[in-house]
Amino acid sequence: MFKKILIANRGEIAVRIIRACKEWGISTVAVHSDVDKESMHVRMADESVCIGSHQPANSYLNIPALLSAIEITNAEAVHPGYGFLSENADFAKVLEDNNIKFIGASSKLIEMMGDKIQAKKIAKENGLPVIEGSEGGVRDIKEAKELCKKIGFPVLIKASGGGGGKGMKIVYKEEEFETLFSTAKTEAQKYFGNNEVYIEKFFQNPRHIEVQILAGKKQNHSSS
């Protein structure tokens, strides 16, 4: 059991983690930007460290600042919550290299599945059906428009390095594409530190089936 963990997130996500830690008698360290210093998660935690300015890239996505916070508080582990660095393989690898527990998947697994483009590629290689769209990240506007004409509007522009609806835009007609493409890339960079996006055919009101998998180090897995 850990004695102290650092929570690399903010707001309601961090609050829920702190409440769980209190039930287990685990000390918590909150990190925060300069504008979040009075936030609920900061007030609830046992310790807090300011890690930068209000721009996520300067604080909640700032890996060197988070490592400094871990060092000065002697935290044994990091809980990333979801969003921000929770699917960042580089962050998980840095923690592994410094013998700090990342409460989540290994860096190897995140590298495979945390990036949606890579995950889609793996699914395709294993014979699983995937939604029609770009083969990888799309950078060129002209190329992107040609692809959209091929698969037909509406299309969905998605951030490759994150989720939660950030960096995701539905494009219903060609005239909207350039603006929404640029907006998606800007959001992706802001929230995930990675502006790569890809394109898929958009389906209105699809049936969504999600499978949750819980896995431990001793390979005892369960799903629901």
Token pair 């369960």: residue: 222
Residues 59 and 151 in one domain: no
Which pLDDT belongs to residue 111?
A: 85
Nearest-angstrom CA–CA distance, 43 and 60: 17
Q: Cα–Cα distances in Å, from 2 out to 78, 103, 119, 219?
A: 10, 11, 31, 21
Nearest-angstrom CA–CA distance, 209 and 212: 10
Which pLDDT belongs to residue 203?
A: 92
Which pLDDT belongs to residue 11?
A: 96
What is the domain-level CATH number for residue 20? 3.40.50.20
| Sheet with 169-171, side-by-side order of all strands | 169-171, 155-159, 197-201
Which pLDDT belongs to residue 176?
A: 95
**Would you write out the chain's pLDDT as a tens digit for each of its 224 residues?**
899 999 999 999 999 999 999 999 999 999 999 999 999 999 999 999 999 999 988 999 999 999 999 999 999 999 999 889 998 899 999 999 999 999 998 999 888 887 788 888 899 999 999 999 998 889 888 889 999 999 999 999 999 877 777 889 999 999 999 999 999 999 989 888 889 999 999 998 888 787 777 766 666 655 55
Q: Which of 85, 111, 137 is the last residue of a domain?
A: 111
Q: In total, how many domains does the chain have?
A: 2
What is the domain-level CATH number for residue 159? 3.30.1490.20
What's the domain range around 101?
A: 4-111
Which pLDDT belongs to residue 197?
A: 92
